[in-house]
Structure 1
């Protein structure tokens, strides 16, 4: 459904003209200088331009996002109507006081700025403002409320309204003052649950017992807010972690460290069990606790956000980290970013990280390994040609059909590397057939057949079901008239 105010501006020139000048909302310039989309995948529609080259978008169907020509983007208002209220009553030529202005201060600042505007470029300012207020039915609100609404909208930019350049996939900037640290977001439920546990709320114990992600938050909240009376609940949390013995060993280690730090004899048997004998007495427990838990990294909070179901928070944090890797990135950091993005299902951003990682590899083996991973990511994001190019790099790295570039890939065909490269060829064949790309399917199948003859018989046998599917899929192209 079209926004009422936006429809009025699009259909009534007498309103569109003053909205464009002097208030900088020109519905006839509803385009942006580069292809963009939202990281969340929500809808995005350019609806107006400003006189600086910036663009207003309808983001997620109702909210208004503003993108500047220099690569910054922030949520501007919750609706088009609210955006026009802000632009008309708090015009861009007025610099509002930086710290907590009251109503009278705002009105005085706007009166002074308006007078300069009348004298310099818009003598009929009052008439234009009145026409918009009346024609659009804009309500009368206190200016401080409008300012607060604008700032509140900007603080809601992340995670659902983050703008990406569609070609390079980098995120438009957002001032750090409007970004809530992910650590604070993901620790919120843990802090609340910790207080409930401290109060003796039986429901809190049941929730923590049954929710590993909540326990993880509680343990980290307890780490940063230690109290002498917490030992019983810390024992409870450690017992739950020990009982489940899940993949989240960091939580088990943290729970053990928080208990061990109290240095009580009665806890030694449990601590000995959960640390597989690393703790044998109270002195050793205290010493172990002091060195056991490493400082959390950004990935700690990203992983916890993922476990809490805050997928967009995790995605945005990872994209921002990837954007910040700079011209000389750390390969290990790129690898971590790729893995985390792939776990989220964001194969496009994962491929972006992997491209950077591949460019940093020095040996043929490392290049081959990085290239087949890139092929998988490109295929999963839907860019089959890019996947084929990545596989070509993998074949070149191992010297398939020729001489290996260096000694690091000796016997590659007898090792897991050969199996993995071959598997990606067969997967790409199936994807190409499904996409109707006959040439790519056949070319890739030809490479796949050669690889199946080269790799160890055991690997070829293991891939037999997949290779049979790929061969039948290509044969089906011929049967359906897909070429000679």
Structure 2
């Protein structure tokens, strides 16, 4: 359903002209300087532009996002009506608008800004404002309410309204004051549960016993807020983690470190079991706890907890922001690629993986990261890119053309790190990715890619070890039948 105010601006030229000047909301300039999309995949429609090259977008048919031509983006309103109210009553030429001002303070700032605007470019400002307000039927609200709505919208930009450059997949910037702190988001439930546990709430105890994800949050909250009298409940949490040995062993180590830091002899047996023998007495318990504390949680800690909590949108924002700020750091790129892949963000994972592949110096590392890139590209649906990645994997082990995508000495010439690639897991993994691509290409109807990839797969099956080839028999059979069934 079209927004009422937007419909009026599109159907009544005199109102559109007033919105465009002096309030700089021009529906005739409804385009952006580059292709963009929302990371969430939600609908995004450019509805107006301003004189600086910035664009107003309608998100999901309701909220309004403003993106500058310089790479900044922020949610400004929950509707076009609100956006016009703010632009008309709290125009951008008014300086000094801040949350600390009361109604009279905001009015004084607007009066001062308006006085300059009348002198410099809009002598008929008052009449223009009144005509636009009446024509659009904008409601009367206190300026403090309008300003508060604007601030509230900006603080809700993340995670659902993160804007990406469609070509490079980099995120538009957002002022730090409006950025979401993932650590605080994911620690919220744990902090609340920890408070209840400290008060002796039986229900909280049963809840954390039954919920490993909540328990992880409680442990992280206890790590952030240490208290001496927490030891009994920490022991219980450690016993629970040690007994379950569930999805994440990391929480068991966190619980062990929290208990070990107290250095009690009576905890040594429990700690020895939880740390696989690293702790043997109270002294070694304290030393081990200090080692763990020195490592501490990092950004990926909060991302993983967000994923486990079902906060995929928050995790996505954090990982994309980290990726945008990551240079040629192989370990960081690898961690980002794997984390994004686990989250199902295959396009961003491919971006990280492509950069990671360019940093590899040995043939084995190039082959490994190339077949991983192929896997990710296939998952994102870019089968041609997956085929190119597999070509690089083959080149890295000395099959076919290409330079293997490496850099530095020996580029394009396989070294001794892949001397026995076909007898190791590397050969099986590369072959497996070829067969998976055959299936995907056949399903999509890409005859040429399916045939070519199957030829490479057959050659690889002839070269890899017998056990590896045997393990891939079901997959290779399906691939062969897929090619035949699709007449490709």
**TM-score normalised by length of structure 1:** 0.95
Residues 271-420 of structure 1: pairs in structure 2 closer than 5 A: 271-293=271-293, 294-326=295-327, 329-400=328-399, 405-420=414-429
The residue that corresponds to 2:441 in the other structure is: 432
Q: CA deviation at 1:101?
A: 1.5
Most deviating of 396-405 and 316-325 = 396-405
Most deviating of 280-289 and 202-211 = 280-289
Residues 36-115 of structure 1: pairs in structure 2 closer than 5 A: 36-98=36-98, 100-115=100-115
* Contact 1:404–1:410 (8 Å) recurs in 2: no
Structure 2 counterpart SS, 1:284: helix
Inter-partner Cα distance in structure 2 for 1:284 and 1:467: 53
Inter-partner Cα distance in structure 2 for 1:354 and 1:309: 24
* Contact 2:2–2:61 (8 Å) recurs in 1: no
- The structure 1 residue matched to 2:466, chosen from 457, 462, 468, is 457
The residue that corresponds to 2:407 in the other structure is: none
Q: CA deviation at 1:385?
A: 0.8
Alpha carbons of structure 1 residues 283 and 419: separation in structure 2 relative to 1, 3 Å: closer
Inter-partner Cα distance in structure 1 for 2:477 and 2:286: 59
Q: CA deviation at 1:318?
A: 0.4
Q: CA deviation at 1:212?
A: 1.1
Q: CA deviation at 1:98?
A: 4.3
| Structure 1: gaps (5+ residues) | none
Residues 460-471 of structure 1: pairs in structure 2 closer than 5 A: 460-471=469-480
The answer on 1:30 being equivalent to 2:39 is no
Q: CA deviation at 1:262?
A: 2.2
Deviations 1:315-352 (A, max 9, x none): 110000000013xx210000000000000011100000
Q: CA deviation at 1:297?
A: 0.8
* Contact 2:391–2:400 (8 Å) recurs in 1: no
The residue that corresponds to 1:10 in the other structure is: 10
Q: CA deviation at 1:404?
A: 5.7
Inter-partner Cα distance in structure 1 for 2:441 and 2:47: 37
Deviations 1:168-193 (A, max 9, x none): 10000011111132111111111111
Q: CA deviation at 1:157?
A: 0.5
Aligned CA RMSD, in angstroms, stands at 1.5
Q: CA deviation at 1:45?
A: 1.0
The residue that corresponds to 2:483 in the other structure is: 474
Inter-partner Cα distance in structure 2 for 1:37 and 1:401: 38
Inter-partner Cα distance in structure 1 for 2:99 and 2:130: 29
Inter-partner Cα distance in structure 2 for 1:401 and 1:52: 51
Residues 126-165 of structure 1: pairs in structure 2 closer than 5 A: 126-165=126-165
Inter-partner Cα distance in structure 1 for 2:359 and 2:5: 52
Deviations 1:129-154 (A, max 9, x none): 11221122211111122112111111
- The structure 2 residue matched to 1:444, chosen from 453, 461, 478, is 453
Inter-partner Cα distance in structure 1 for 2:420 and 2:255: 45
**Matched pairs, number:** 477
* Contact 1:190–1:215 (8 Å) recurs in 2: yes
The residue that corresponds to 2:406 in the other structure is: none
Structure 1 counterpart SS, 2:486: helix
Most deviating of 388-397 and 333-342 = 388-397
Q: CA deviation at 1:271?
A: 2.1
Inter-partner Cα distance in structure 2 for 1:401 and 1:456: 19
Structure 2 counterpart SS, 1:174: coil
**TM-score normalised by length of structure 2:** 0.95
Inter-partner Cα distance in structure 1 for 2:482 and 2:292: 53
Alpha carbons of structure 1 residues 198 and 374: separation in structure 2 relative to 1, 3 Å: same
* Contact 1:341–1:350 (8 Å) recurs in 2: yes
* Contact 1:158–1:179 (8 Å) recurs in 2: yes
